[in-house]
Amino acid sequence: MSNDDPADWLGASDAPPVHDPHRAVRAQTRPALPKRFYETAGLSKNDEGFRLTLDGRPANTPARNPLSLPTRALGEAVAAEWAAQVASIDPATMPLTRLANTAIDGVAPRREAVIDDLSAYAGTDLVAYRAADPERLVADQARAWDPLLDWARETLGARLILSEGVMHVTQPEPSVAALRSAIAAVDGPFRLAALHTMTTLTGSLLIALATLHGRLTPQEAWTAAHVDEAYQASVWGSDAEAEARHVLRKHEFEAAATLAKLVL
């Protein structure tokens, strides 16, 4: 939602947005967050589920679609993010709201394109690329990733070929097709948005699918996706800046996993 005008946050204006290059520059350089302009955040029932309301007024997404959540549980979680804002509204503290906006504005109208984008990971999945050494890292990867390969083969019908190092390996077409079918079977834009977020954050479609299907907890999934980083940190020590980025990305992953669960 726009940072310029409370009406934009509510999607209250019926006029089409007008491109203003000066306003665009200000938006890029202005550090200030928008002030909280509402007292209460709530929900109203509608045909699409539960729409966020701010002081009783229906809220919209940045593209001015109704900000409607498919279940009460997700609606209450999104409303809680808005209620938790204090003097200013900080989107960084509202991951479920941002994911919901993505689902409504970005995924719902272009579902096939999102499926195509996710399907590309079937040929480059993190868990298929293994270290040749040292022995401990090889063992760590096998311990974390081999059960996922077994799960994908037995549950999804996808058998992946492994490669050492960064040499590209072409996965069997039936396996790629099976993984695409698993993506296409994901119901609704919210769970598909969650799957996309989890996949891009980890580099692994298998880890994301396993989380979506409850095969892995979010913590297990995040640990599995960062076997290499954990090994490097144990050898060379951790970097404070990298660790801070890691924590932020982990929160985003957990929010995506939470959203996927709350829409069931």
pLDDT class of 191 with cuts at 50, 70, 90 = very high
Give the residue carrying structure tokens 């990733």: 145
Fold for domain 6-92? Answer: ATP12-like (3.30.2180)
pLDDT class of 30 with cuts at 50, 70, 90 = low
CATH 3.30.2180.10 in the chain, residues? Answer: 6-92
Task: Determine the Cα–Cα distance for residues 104 and 193; give it in Å rounded to an integer.
Answer: 9
Fold for domain 110-262? Answer: ATP12-like fold (1.10.3580)
> pLDDT per residue over 46-102, tens digit each?
998 999 999 999 999 999 999 999 999 999 999 999 999 999 999 999 999 999 999
CATH 1.10.3580.10 in the chain, residues? Answer: 110-262
- For residue 215, give every residue at least 6 positions away whose Cβ sits within 8 Å of its Cβ, in sequence order, or none: 148, 151, 155, 209
- If DSSP states are collapsed to H, E and C, what string results for 166-228? CCCCCCCHHHHHHHHHHHHCCCHHHHHHHHHHHHHHHCCHHHHHHHHCCCCCHHHHHHHHCHH
Judge if pTM exceeds 0.85: yes
Angle between helices 173-184 and 205-212 (to 10 degrees): 40
Q: Say if residue 3's pLDDT is above 50.
A: no
Higher pLDDT, 48 or 115: 115
> pLDDT per residue over 122-176, tens digit each?
999 999 999 999 999 999 999 999 999 999 999 999 999 999 988 899 999 999 9
- For residue 218, give every residue at least 6 positions away whose Cβ sits within 8 Å of its Cβ, in sequence order, or none: 211, 253, 254, 257, 258
Give the residue carrying structure tokens 């096939």: 112
Average pLDDT value for the chain: 90
